[in-house]
Structure 1
Amino acid sequence: MNLDFTQFVPNIPYILQGILVTLKFVSVSAIVGFVLGTILALFKIGRVKILSWIADAYTSVFRGTPLILQLLLFYHATPQLTGYDISAFEAGVLSFGLNSAAYISEIIRAGIRAVDTGQNEAAAALGIPYRPMMKDIILPQAMKNILPALMNEFITLTKESAIVSVIGVFDIMRRSQIVAAEKFKYFEPLLIAGVIYYLLVMILTLAGKMVERRMSRSD
């Protein structure tokens, strides 16, 4: 085995700079996914059939096609179809945010359905309109139930964000690939990237458990 990690030590700061790019990308994508996913979930459980159908169709398309295909379509097809020269970061946020929304909508929908129906009946008996009931009573309870699933989706998003390296986003993976190409050695820099991703996931996992414990104490 011809391994030499010492020659990659000077490149570690360069690879570490990708953490900020990755976290920025994941955070923006997660916000887009959560906001749109919440809207889709409300459409699915609502009484307007056309909105429910649209939400179901949206989920079916984004869950039924590969994420990398969606990423490449946004990046390469947007300029062709609209004339807008979309950046790699924008294409990544759109594809990951819209894809994540499909999964988050199902998580939130299941969380809302899990709330005791007595809450709806009590709100109706008190004359509370549907929108305030969902915003102030149902959704807060649902969020407590689905927090672990949402955290898992965020962790998955963090790991899958490495895919954006294929369109040139200078994240952790892209930087490790550049270092590998410069030195014609791939195992060491890719292993360094793997360790960084693993540590990020472990930190996010611990943060999620802390939030869970805090919310459970507030019950």
Structure 2
Amino acid sequence: MKKKLLILQAIIMMLAATGCSAEDKGKSVESVDDLPGATIGVQLGTTGDIYASDYEAPEYGSTVERFNKITDAVQALKQSKIDCVIADEQPAIASIETEPGLVILDEPFALEEYAMVVAKDNDELLANINDALVQLKDDGTLDSIIANYIGDDTKGKTPYVSPEGTTYENGTLVVATNAAFKPYEYYDGNEVVGIDIDIIRAIGDILHMDIEIEDIEFDAIISAVSSHKADVGIAGMTMTQERAKSINFSDSYVTSKQVMIVRGDNASFSNIGFIDKVYQNFVQNDRWAYVLSGLKNTLIIALCAVILGVFIGFLVGIVRVAHDKTGVLPILNAICKLYLTIIRGTPAMIQLLIIYYVVFQSVNISKILVAVIAFAINSGAYVAEIIRGGIMSIDEGQTEAGRSLGLNYRQTMIYIILPQAVKNVLPSLANEFITLIKETSICGYIGLMDLTRGGDIIRSQTYEPFLPLIAVALIYLVIVEILTVLVGRWEKSLRKSDR
């Protein structure tokens, strides 16, 4: 014990000697000139990401860390994991409202123009949107919408209201956005609001089209529009040459700038009590509803995917075993091997995106159904190999005994081999089910509200990195523990026949 204490003391002294503390770590950024050699945080796929990438060149020596949300980048800066954050001005202002230890430098990093995105082959819609934008600029509606969210004099005083008698006989305009970009798009209760949302609703009124908002990851917006999963993308998106290669931009509707968020000279961070944080994250504005809604979808997807995945896995596993044992079904076995190779060799997230944006590109299908199909196909590959391994582990004498009793191959497999195989592989199947439940956390990439995304929405509103994540983690833990107990009892009941 004394030796362990001496070792611990030596480590502490070494850390103190090298100055390895959170406060001393990192480089001070006070202007654009300080960015070379700095660690820069950005939101993945944003203009800040594009601009910051230039500093990754060898002559600059900077490191760019890419986060899915500005919230995460700001928290990394707060914890001295990075030196600055490059972000759009208004979201940057919103992200540090409750963080007095962070400041925005007066020097702008870059100026930019925001525009909407439309698919390359949808010129008619693009022309209609541009005509509507001209009308909104001329009659002052655009300025009124922006002033309702930005500025001290008119903020909150001029909410957009659809003109009386507006009809929507021209159908629905599906709009892709990323509701974590306050004040352009963000959640207010269960509703997505903001500058961009009001603008697109005003355009919808002019075009006599109803608006349907799809909240997805920012870097998936262009893919959603180009694959016609959405008609329009609007998310404070800057016109760039690279993006214009795969998408068409509307006329600009607002000018913004990229700014740099840094730690202040006298960094002091707010430290509200735990109870107040719980209230702010879950009770205030009924934010618990995001978690509850996400939990419901997670359970539906996981349960349906497990049932369908087991069915697929059993079929594939039986085909593989039949070929291995008797050499029959060579074509089906080759197809099954190809399926196993592709599914086990590619990430589940890629499979989900391919099924949603490619396989069902031109089909209007429920996102929950897409998720069920994707996760069932993914899980089925692993279940198939688990089942095959379980069947192959059964002594060949069991098969011979069944045949000697007059049972054919199918009867022997159903009544003798499979019951023993399932008993042997039940722990492995339980592990696969647990993995499947946790893998559903990637559903946010297709704009589906799952448990993890519910926590992300809360974080995007409260800028609190700890409690929403812990709450989501605890819920997953409870689900997994319940499943573990149920499988354990099932396994125990099956083992009674071994006595």
Same fold, judged at TM 0.5 (above): yes
Aligned AA (1:52): N
Structure 1 pair 35–59 and aligned structure 2 pair: CA distance change class (3 A): same
Instruction: Report whether the alignment pairs 1:44 with 2:325.
Output: no
For residues 218 and 21 of structure 1, the distance between their equivalents in structure 2, rounded to whole angstroms, comes to 38
Which has more radius of gyration? 2
Structure 2 CA distance, aligned partners of 1:162 and 1:78? 21
SS of aligned partner of 2:407: coil
* Match of residue 416 from structure 2: 137
* Farther off after superposition, 171-180 or 151-160: 171-180
Alignment of structure 1 residues 98-137 onto 2, 5 Å: 98-137=377-416
Superposed displacement of residue 126, structure 1: 2.3
- Aligned-pair CA distance for 1:181: 1.5
Question: For 2:418, what is the secondary structure of its paired residue?
Answer: helix
Taking the aligned partners of 1:190 and 1:120, their CA distance within structure 2 comes to: 51
Matched, 1:21 2:21: no
Counting only pairs closer than 5 Å after superposition, residues 1-219 of structure 1 correspond to structure 2 as 2=270, 4-10=277-283, 11-46=287-322, 47-80=328-361, 83-219=362-498
Alignment RMSD? 1.6
Aligned residue pairs: how many?
217
SS in 1 for 2:439: helix
- In structure 2, relative to structure 1, the CA distance for the partners of 1:2 and 1:201 (3 Å cut) is farther
Q: What one-letter code is carried by the residue in structure 2 that aligns with 1:191?
A: I
Alpha-carbon separation, structure 1, partners of 2:298 and 2:416 = 35
SS of residue paired to 2:305: helix
Give 1:155's aligned amino acid: I
Q: What's the offset of the Cα at 1:67?
A: 0.7
Scaled by the length of structure 2, what TM-score is found?
A: 0.42
Higher strand share: 2
Name which structure has the greater RCO, CA cutoff 8 Å, separation 6+: 1
In 2: Cα distance, 1:133 partner to 1:79 partner: 40
In structure 2, how many angstroms separate the alpha carbons of the residues matched to 1:69 and 1:2?
39
1:181-205 alpha-carbon deviations (Å, 9 max, x no partner): 2223333212211111111112211
Provide the rounded CA distance (Å) in 1 between the counterparts of 2:270 and 2:494.
50
The 3-state SS of whatever aligns with 1:191 is: helix
Structure 1 segments of 4 or more deviating over 3 A?
none
What is the CA distance between 1:75 and its match in structure 2?
A: 0.9
Q: CA distance change for structure 1 residues 185 and 102 in 2, over 3 Å: closer, same or farther?
A: same
Q: Distance in 2 between matches of 1:107 and 1:121?
A: 23
State percent identity of aligned pairs. Answer: 38
The superposition leaves residues 94-128 of structure 1 with CA deviations (integer Å, 9 ceiling, x where unpaired) of: 11100101000000001101112111111222221
Distance 1:71 1:121, change over 3 A: same
Secondary structure of the residue aligned to 1:5 is helix
Deviation at 1:147, TM superposition (A): 0.6
CA distance in 2, matches of 1:69, 1:18: 21
Q: Which moved more, 1:17-26 or 1:39-48?
A: 17-26
- Superposed displacement of residue 14, structure 1: 3.7
Displacement after TM superposition at 1:66 (Å): 1.0
- Describe the SS at the equivalent of 2:483: helix
In 2: Cα distance, 1:191 partner to 1:62 partner:
31
